[in-house]
Structure 1
Amino acid sequence: MIRLLSTSLIALSVAACSTTAAEPLASASAAAVADRPAANAAVPIEPAPLSELVAEVELPFEKFTLDNGLTVVVHEDRKAPLVGVSVWYDVGSKHEPAGKTGFAHLFEHLMFNGTENAPADWFEYIQQMGGTDVNGTTSPDRTNYFQTVPTGALDRILMLESDRMGHLLDAVTQEKLDNQRGVVQNEKRQGDNNPFGLLRYEIFENLFPKGHRYHHSTIGSMGDLDAASMEDVQSWFRDHYGPNNAVLVLAGDIDTATARAKVEKWFGAIPAGPEVVDPVVTVPTLPAEKTKVTTDNIATTRLFRMWTVPGSNSPEAVPLNLASAVLGGLSSSRLDNALVREDPVAVSVSTFNYTLEDAGVFVVQADVKPGVDPAEVAAKLDAQIAEFIATGPTADELERAKVSSMAGVIRGLESVGGFGGKAPQLAAGELYMGDPGHVEKELAQMAAATPEQVRDLTRTWLSRPVFNLVFNPGERTEGGENRGGAATGANAAGLPSLAELTQANYCKPEFCEPVSLATFMQAERDTLPEIGTLSGLEFPDIERATLSNGMEVYFAQREAVPTVSVLVEFDAGRAAETRADLGTQRLMLATMDEGTRRLNSTEFAIAQERLAANISAGFNADWTTFSLDGLSPNLAPSLELLAEFIRQPGFRTGDIERSRAKLLNALTAELKEPNQLADRALRRTLYGDHPYGLPSSGLGSAQRLQALTASDLQAFHDRWLRPDTARIYVVGDTTLAEATRLLEASFGDWQAPASPAPQRGYDAPIPTPHQRIVLLDRPNSPQSVIYGGQVLDLRGATDDLTLLGASNEALSGGFLSRINMNLRETKGWSYGAGGGIGTALDRVYYGVRAPVQADRTADAITEVQREIDEFVTTRGVEPNELERIVNSNMRELPGQFETAGDVLGGVVTIVRYNRDDDYYEKLADTYRTLSAAELDAIARATFVEDDIVYVVVGDAAVVRPQLEALDLEVEEITLEE
């Protein structure tokens, strides 16, 4: 889950902003400047007070404990017929003994592979009941399992969760263990294969000494994973997965009395397990400053500065999170201002405080601007850190950090489950702090934090010896296959053996011998509980209005949280460009994000932060979009800021140059990342010069990016962003009348130019299918990334793809699809594989993706070919697949539209593709009447395996000999742009 105010280590870069003085407009024609609307005198920035935001976070709950020690937390939320069910176990990789690294995570995988009374794959049951937001995760501190289910399926999901808590062991076989071991090892390879994939090892191995509980990676080492035995499985389950070591949260359409009765029924007879004693984990300090230099297949040098800091169980964590936001987390952060704008020696900077339970890692990073000496950037980075340690944040900086953080929590609490909703917030509070409502106390602590407190804690922790890590571009000198494990032998001080853990520290005498739990409550578990009455989807009414300038407004009301989401879309997208001018739109949008005519970049960022308004721009194949996620009390000034962003771009010379440098770096990085390489190559191979053949990133050649001028950006803006090609969507806690009134004030005076509206270009011919393997060499890759695709004779604007998508669910569209179950669950060659139908106005495509271990590349392609061929010839949709397709699609509908963002996406789809307003409400009837013959017919008329082109990105020395043994042409290419 996303812990409050923490940033995932995966998110290793953020958009950079910094302060500049307002510059004159550069290079745009005088006529273009004259035609722009005059800037408003001022955008009224009058945000709701901080106290009002704190008051919005109300998370009432009731808590009780069963006789066996299971802690249960209940939160009632009747907005939808859904219940978020979250089970958190107090066991993670910090509990692993020497020689058993990665085992907590491996065991998490085994928990999805069936139980004594429910032997099928977990996702089979979840999809049949219409569950959404389904997953399980492992951290150093805990393992959790969660899903959101229709209220009528609550008994069934509680039976299933209790069955894997109390009735698992007899279902775990050596075959399942071996298979999931392979899956996890491919998950490790997949992570290691990416640029910066080895960073996770560098952080923890260097900051935490050998023997420390956070020294080793949660993914573990290959050797330890290979050594995991059935005896380990048995011991791990008995020692850690008892009800007294777990927290169960039910959040949603449920009350405490009902919850207590159901939980007692399903969990009450599971006996308590051994008392688990959490290991003592300290916050270590390096004995001296430490520096390490390594190389990786990356675009530019990245500099890191890292310190260990207190964890989330410390009152010092919240102020340190605020310090991180001010130093490098906010768009207007100190580092952005100093190193990206005022003195642009870096293309991006960021800071985040990664908080585990008992310790954390405070990380500062900077990507060196190509052509700049890394030593110069390092010196300036260190100087800024030193100045921040000395002075701390200003009151205004701290206020903006608080507002931005609190708004994120408010938005997350719209969901009852998932990664950041109510159930995980309650579970985390109980597991870590013994208080399900701890999030409210954290927000109160945040509101009370002072600049002096933040300064003093920053000074305390960041004045200690630092770990300097430098990633330089180049060939990797080591892989991750031998990393991630804890030290063994003499170096394993403080790490007991498994036997010591089992017999001495963790095991009560009565549980030291194997105990079968299969006899408990067996009569009630012979069959799955019936699914009760399920409520159908009630999609919000779509209300409509038209502004005085003709702009259409589409509105749906959602009142669960005080937020509003707005999307302004224009008929443009990548289809507004050709290969020759590709990159213009991407640079235009990046520069627009740097400020307006009135507000320079930092001023624009500060305005958003004060309002807790997230404003952004993007595009896909057919549309260019501008979005606002705001708080309803701040809606009026937020919409004014959005309108200024769209209508009055600054296009200053300095902004353009900074954006250009970022995008040139992004382009270099894209040509090194295996999935982006594969996507680029496949799109170009399938579509040629058609707009859909352009890279999804919107980045063309470095030469084109370097040649673009302010006039080019302004011309694209004036040609494609105009009110007569725009629509506005609003969903949230307001009314159509109020939204229309505010939109009229911000957009109503925007008049379309006299010139005809431009038309997207879909005329370029699509190449005739020519099946082959297109190989891109990426040396030393432990995995190969396989992309396959075929352009279909279907158009999104005119053809309803619902039935084709349903048919593909059996073949490749989901966890239980044939291709994923084959390559992941049966063969163990991949962490996950699958495919789907693209969505676009013009010709759509079918695509399949399979990252696999390098030595199984050709075998995987053969299996994909076989699965597709069988599906469209001899083995169409089978009865169990049809049942799952029908039930899951009917029953998932309420869960698919729980949040305002979900509803916004639905409204957009209805309007874009000219569907009836009740389209989603009628989908249940569409699925209910499906037949296998109907699905088979559409698949056989659409999928042609002989037309599929396969792109492989991998180590050619390993892969090419395999591919040449197949009955397919192999074409090796190099992508330079």
Structure 2
Amino acid sequence: MRPMPHRRLLIALPLLFAGPAYAAPEPAQVAALVAKVDIPYEAFTLPNGLRVLVHTDRKAPVVALSVWYHVGSKDEPAGKTGFAHLFEHLMFNGSENAPEDFFTPLQQIGGTDYNGTTWFDRTNYFETVPTGALQTALFLESDRMGHLLGGIDQTKLDNQRGVVQNEKRQGDNEPFGLTEYTVQATLFPVGHPYHHTTIGSMADLNGASLTDVKNWFRARYGPDNAVLVLAGDIDAKTAKPLVTKWFGDIPRGPAITRVEAPVPTLAAPVTKVLKDRVPYTRVERRWAVEGVNGADTTALEVAASVLGGLSSSRLDNALVRGDQSAISVSASVEAFEQVGIFTISANVKPGADPVAVGKKIDAIVADFLKNGPTADEVRRVATRSISATIGGYESVGGFGGKAVALAEGLVYSDDPQKYKKDLAELAAQTPATVMAASRKWLSRPVFNLTIEPGPRDTSPAAMALAGDDATGAAPAPAVTTASVPPKPTRTAPPVGAFPPLKFPAIERTTLANGISVYFARRPAVPVVRVSVSFDAGSSADPADTLGLQSLTMALLDEGTKTKTSVQLAEAQERLGATISSGGGIDRSNVGLYALTPNLGASLDLLADIVRNPAFDPKEVERLRGQQLAAISAQLSQPNGVASYVLPGKLYGAAYPYGRPFSGLGDAASVAKISRDAIAGFHHDWLYAGNAAIFVVGDTDMATLKPLLESSFGNWPTDRMARPRKSFAAPIPANAATKIYLVDRPGSPQSVIAGGQVLANEGKDDALIVLRQANDVLGGSFLSRLNTDLRETKGWSYGVSASIPTLENRVPYMINAPVQADRTGDSVAALIADIKTFLGPKGTTPEELERTVNGSIRELPGNFETSDAVLGAMQRIIYLGRPDNFYETLADRYRAMTAADFDKAARAAIDPNKLVFVVVGDAAKVKPQLEKLGLPLETVQLPVAK
């Protein structure tokens, strides 16, 4: 339940579709793109002040609900920091008429995209549900709005306090995890509403009494301080009586006085140096600026994108592509309701001088303030941003769909169409308007922050800044008797009908050179997603050249035989297209996100990148440095360390899956990869005879095939012998459960990663039942493992177990970040919970019903977007499934029994032969693990150089 940043204009596209585009025909104009962004709605307000917006979108039988309360951490008084976020957690723990954890009924009704987040200015709850379950979702949301307090007792408070404190420890435990505390405290003076972070302080959380939190709710969570948005398979005529039925009797809350939060200016430049467990030095420049309603915010966002947001940004070209003194750079505006933060950041290349990098940043900013951006830069920013917005609005809900756009506009700006005005304002930007805003705000005193590798400062003063008391430990909870909720005054409504999933038809064709093409039409938004997929992946890396696939794929869009990396990036931005190259364990992919009007030109560029990479020696060395830095970053992160170590302990080094799942390889192998090896990987694996093309979006096969023939159909198919992956190596047998300990001194949390290799391969239908069984054991929020360690014991922010979709032998994998002083207890609890599930206490009737109902009912919501369809279509082809595979799942789920779940789990998982990797402070953790009496071995990590 991490906070969600405000979403304005300059939205980063998903990594799968990051990259450039080609500018042959004239691309669609910015004004034409803006005209395509529209979210029509109807509005009404209940007598109690609840404002309601309804948007109709009939593409799928689902409705997104988004409830926004106009209260966040900036509303917290001194001594009460973290209360808004703590209450977000408490509001999931049941209400007077729905006493169960809210995830229980949400899973039963097939909810998707459900969560809650807290940030400085608001708290929101959201879920997407089948249309037939809309009334259930309205009942749940209204009950926690109007009937919550009788469902909260001391036990729930103590439990969620522990969960929130573990969320804080988890964030603090990451590299750069303490930076936010310093930024907020420096840019915003003591007493300013944005001075403290949303997560709050350990001391304030420890001091939160039941009376405190109930009074906090009474004062701020009334319907007149909330907005409800319904988006999807619904209309206002249907919605109004339902909303009135469930929310209409909730009384208004007390009058609220909004806090004043002016934009502060530093009296003089401030320079600070922090030491942290980081893989490289980071240099930052920060200014406090206006918020979402500021007159200059859009212009500042354009400035940030020109400086460090575009692929062709000035900082990228100067520091990353140019003198290569930085691994990566970024610039952005994080716009809150009343203030914002303009940030420039550069991750310094190991060996480079951070002071010199800082001076170069300052010089680039000074030049920008003097001369401003070019018209082409401004236009590229607008096109790229509007294109991203169009794609993002394919979703009706979730973290950033249409419901979010409407709710955010109404809450912060009293205007649901604020998104439309923002886009129009973006399209109207000129070099002059951007330069004027930049001069006004970025000429003010700057906060210069450097975070460099070294031991963290754990002095009392430093920990107080981070919001930690000396120990971070919660006081022993008072011995209380759980309060008895009042008798229900209303009951949950029955659910309606749940229509079956209609998966789009998969059309097939073959190009002139034999490349197979798979297409599914999804016309909801004018975009097309393409994946050119190769049977390769990190499992194709030679054993002595790990990381070769990753480096090869990273280099594809860094220059072709006729275009430089800068030219590729600029062309992409002009088209609003994004191309990315990357790979997983089994497959290497080059993805395209394109606006439908610009599809032909975008495909031409995609083909150029796939077919004609230059592998310029200078670019090879630059990307090699970035990959080495990424390995260092992985080894500085607790979860990264666990994922680096665990695969080899599960599979053994000889098996292709016995490598770090990141695919980055290790520093020693990456350092020796030659350009010839890179070109050889491209020749051997990324060729027409090993390719398939998958397309989903707003086009048709008659239009698509000629475009693909033009760009890919004349790609020669080389019939020469190629290398092939081998999975013949034996997987080592594990005689008994064993623990591998990796020392990470000073960690307030430990990461426990574990599992074992199953006998199943990815295409095995037995995994369908096993994954359902794992939903009960570890695969959902309500699973046994998460319920025990998070909801019952409060030792973790979240525990999960999964079975990754791999094509060969699949693993069963567990992940559990836990507080350091409970590491040994947590390992013991995980083993005990697994043994109990596999032994005397298998699947209960309630667990079976919840899991089967949820899996059936969530199917339409799971395939709402073209991105989801694209992934599913690839799984259908690569795992040899029928085209209607997902449409048959509902009947298969209905036929499953508790005995089927238990049989599948007991046949697959051996609780006496698990492998665990524990990453934590060995001085604190090792004595705990030794008490378990299990084989224990300390692992030394390589040092990335």
Give the letter aligned to residue 893 of structure 1.
Answer: L
Residues 11 and 389 of structure 2 are in contact (CA less than 8 Å); yes or no, is this contact kept in structure 1? no
Partner of 1:814: 780
How many angstroms apart in 1 are the aligned matches of 2:564 and 2:16?
Answer: 19
Is 2:718 aligned against 1:753?
yes
How many angstroms apart in 2 are the aligned matches of 1:7 and 1:945?
Answer: 48
Write the mapping of 1:251-266 to structure 2, written as runs, cut at 5 A. 251-266=231-246
Give unmatched runs, 5+ long, in structure 1. 19-39, 488-515
> CA offsets, 1:708-756, max 9 Å, x none?
2221111110011111111110000000121111111110011221312
How many angstroms apart in 2 are the aligned matches of 1:668 and 1:278?
Answer: 45
How many angstroms apart in 1 are the aligned matches of 2:382 and 2:754?
Answer: 46
Secondary structure of 1:963's aligned partner: helix
> CA offsets, 1:266-310, max 9 Å, x none?
111111011111101100000110011011111211100000000
Is 2:640 aligned against 1:637?
no
Residues 9 and 423 of structure 2 are in contact (CA less than 8 Å); yes or no, is this contact kept in structure 1? no
Is 2:557 aligned against 1:593?
yes
Is 2:531 aligned against 1:567?
yes
Partner of residue 856 from structure 2, selected from 874, 890, 902: 890
Partner of 1:922: 888
Partner of 2:92: 112
Partner of residue 578 from structure 1, selected from 525, 542, 547: 542
Is 2:82 aligned against 1:102?
yes
Partner of 2:591: 627
How many angstroms apart in 1 are the aligned matches of 2:555 and 2:237?
Answer: 56
Residues 45 and 52 of structure 2 are in contact (CA less than 8 Å); yes or no, is this contact kept in structure 1? yes
Is 2:676 aligned against 1:696?
no
Residues 221 and 483 of structure 1 are in contact (CA less than 8 Å); yes or no, is this contact kept in structure 2? no
Is 2:832 aligned against 1:829?
no
Partner of residue 648 from structure 1, selected from 612, 617, 630: 612
Residues 222 and 482 of structure 1 are in contact (CA less than 8 Å); yes or no, is this contact kept in structure 2? no
Give 1:696 deviation, angstroms: 1.7
Secondary structure of 2:404's aligned partner: helix
Partner of 1:27: none
Residues 88 and 427 of structure 1 are in contact (CA less than 8 Å); yes or no, is this contact kept in structure 2? yes
Partner of 2:708: 743
Residues 73 and 250 of structure 1 are in contact (CA less than 8 Å); yes or no, is this contact kept in structure 2? yes
Residues 86 and 250 of structure 1 are in contact (CA less than 8 Å); yes or no, is this contact kept in structure 2? yes
Secondary structure of 1:945's aligned partner: coil
Partner of residue 764 from structure 1, selected from 729, 739, 745: 729
Residues 517 and 810 from structure 1, CA distance in 2 versus in 1: closer, same or farther, beyond 3 angstroms?
A: closer
Partner of 1:609: 573
How many angstroms apart in 2 are the aligned matches of 1:922 and 1:957?
Answer: 52
Q: Among the aligned pairs, what percent are the same residue?
A: 52
How many angstroms apart in 2 are the aligned matches of 1:793 and 1:9?
Answer: 40
Partner of 2:915: 949
> CA offsets, 1:546-603, max 9 Å, x none?
1011111111000100010001111111121133111211111122221211110110
Give 1:481 deviation, angstroms: 5.6
Secondary structure of 2:150's aligned partner: helix
TM-score by length of 1: 0.92
Write the mapping of 1:168-183 to structure 2, written as runs, cut at 5 A. 168-183=148-163
Residues 717 and 303 from structure 1, CA distance in 2 versus in 1: closer, same or farther, beyond 3 angstroms?
A: same
Give 1:682 deviation, angstroms: 0.6
Give 1:518 deviation, angstroms: 6.9
Residues 16 and 581 of structure 2 are in contact (CA less than 8 Å); yes or no, is this contact kept in structure 1? no
Give 1:354 deviation, angstroms: 0.8
How many angstroms apart in 2 are the aligned matches of 1:310 and 1:45?
Answer: 38
How many angstroms apart in 2 are the aligned matches of 1:578 and 1:51?
Answer: 50
Give 1:141 deviation, angstroms: 0.2
> CA offsets, 1:745-788, max 9 Å, x none?
11001122131243212122211114211000000000000001
Is 2:150 aligned against 1:147?
no
> CA offsets, 1:804-826, max 9 Å, x none?
00001110001000000000000
Partner of 1:911: 877
Residues 19 and 579 of structure 2 are in contact (CA less than 8 Å); yes or no, is this contact kept in structure 1? no
Write the mapping of 1:449-460 to structure 2, written as runs, cut at 5 A. 449-460=429-440
How many angstroms apart in 2 are the aligned matches of 1:808 and 1:714?
Answer: 42
Give 1:258 deviation, angstroms: 1.0
Is 2:907 aligned against 1:971?
no
Residues 17 and 333 of structure 1 are in contact (CA less than 8 Å); yes or no, is this contact kept in structure 2? no
Residues 14 and 349 of structure 1 are in contact (CA less than 8 Å); yes or no, is this contact kept in structure 2? no
Is 2:856 aligned against 1:876?
no
Residues 893 and 619 from structure 1, CA distance in 2 versus in 1: closer, same or farther, beyond 3 angstroms?
A: same
Give the letter aligned to residue 229 of structure 2.
Answer: V
How many angstroms apart in 1 are the aligned matches of 2:503 and 2:902?
Answer: 30
Give 1:338 deviation, angstroms: 1.0
Residues 17 and 578 of structure 2 are in contact (CA less than 8 Å); yes or no, is this contact kept in structure 1? no
Give the letter aligned to residue 6 of structure 2.
Answer: R
State the Cα RMSD in Å: 2.0
Residues 424 and 153 from structure 1, CA distance in 2 versus in 1: closer, same or farther, beyond 3 angstroms?
A: same
How many angstroms apart in 1 are the aligned matches of 2:232 and 2:676?
Answer: 53
How many angstroms apart in 1 are the aligned matches of 2:314 and 2:714?
Answer: 37
Residues 614 and 253 from structure 1, CA distance in 2 versus in 1: closer, same or farther, beyond 3 angstroms?
A: same
Give 1:326 deviation, angstroms: 0.5
How many angstroms apart in 2 are the aligned matches of 1:697 and 1:836?
Answer: 17
Give the letter aligned to residue 720 of structure 2.
Answer: S
Give the letter aligned to residue 443 of structure 2.
Answer: S
How many angstroms apart in 1 are the aligned matches of 2:812 and 2:756?
Answer: 5
Partner of 1:495: none
Partner of residue 694 from structure 2, selected from 729, 735, 743: 729
Give 1:16 deviation, angstroms: 12
How many angstroms apart in 2 are the aligned matches of 1:882 and 1:15?
Answer: 38
Is 2:40 aligned against 1:3?
no
Write the mapping of 1:467-506 to structure 2, written as runs, cut at 5 A. 467-478=447-458, 482-485=464-467
How many angstroms apart in 2 are the aligned matches of 1:596 and 1:553?
Answer: 24
Give 1:799 deviation, angstroms: 4.4
Residues 297 and 15 from structure 1, CA distance in 2 versus in 1: closer, same or farther, beyond 3 angstroms?
A: farther
Residues 798 and 538 from structure 1, CA distance in 2 versus in 1: closer, same or farther, beyond 3 angstroms?
A: same
How many angstroms apart in 1 are the aligned matches of 2:562 and 2:709?
Answer: 21
How many angstroms apart in 1 are the aligned matches of 2:376 and 2:732?
Answer: 57
Residues 43 and 53 of structure 2 are in contact (CA less than 8 Å); yes or no, is this contact kept in structure 1? yes
Give the letter aligned to residue 735 of structure 1.
Answer: D
Give the letter aligned to residue 169 of structure 1.
Answer: L
Secondary structure of 1:693's aligned partner: coil
Partner of 2:924: 958
Give the letter aligned to residue 766 of structure 1.
Answer: I
Corresponding pairs, count: 922
Partner of 2:642: 678
> CA offsets, 1:394-426, max 9 Å, x none?
000000000111111111110110011010100
Secondary structure of 2:193's aligned partner: coil
Partner of 2:271: 291
How many angstroms apart in 1 are the aligned matches of 2:633 and 2:84?
Answer: 33
Partner of residue 132 from structure 1, selected from 103, 112, 117: 112
Partner of 1:368: 348
How many angstroms apart in 2 are the aligned matches of 1:634 and 1:716?
Answer: 31
Moved over 4 A (4+): 6-11, 13-18, 484-487, 516-519
How many angstroms apart in 2 are the aligned matches of 1:854 and 1:579?
Answer: 36
Give unmatched runs, 5+ long, in structure 2. 470-483
Secondary structure of 1:727's aligned partner: strand
> CA offsets, 1:904-963, max 9 Å, x none?
111111111111111111100011111001111111111101111110000000000100
Secondary structure of 1:442's aligned partner: helix
Residues 661 and 14 from structure 1, CA distance in 2 versus in 1: closer, same or farther, beyond 3 angstroms?
A: farther
Give 1:673 deviation, angstroms: 1.0
How many angstroms apart in 1 are the aligned matches of 2:458 and 2:573?
Answer: 42
How many angstroms apart in 2 are the aligned matches of 1:62 and 1:953?
Answer: 52
Write the mapping of 1:280-679 to structure 2, written as runs, cut at 5 A. 280-478=260-458, 482-485=464-467, 523=489, 525=490, 527-679=491-643
Residues 307 and 362 of structure 1 are in contact (CA less than 8 Å); yes or no, is this contact kept in structure 2? yes
Partner of 1:31: none
Partner of 1:91: 71
Give 1:482 deviation, angstroms: 3.7
> CA offsets, 1:454-500, max 9 Å, x none?
1011011010000011111112123886445599xxxxxxxxxxxxx
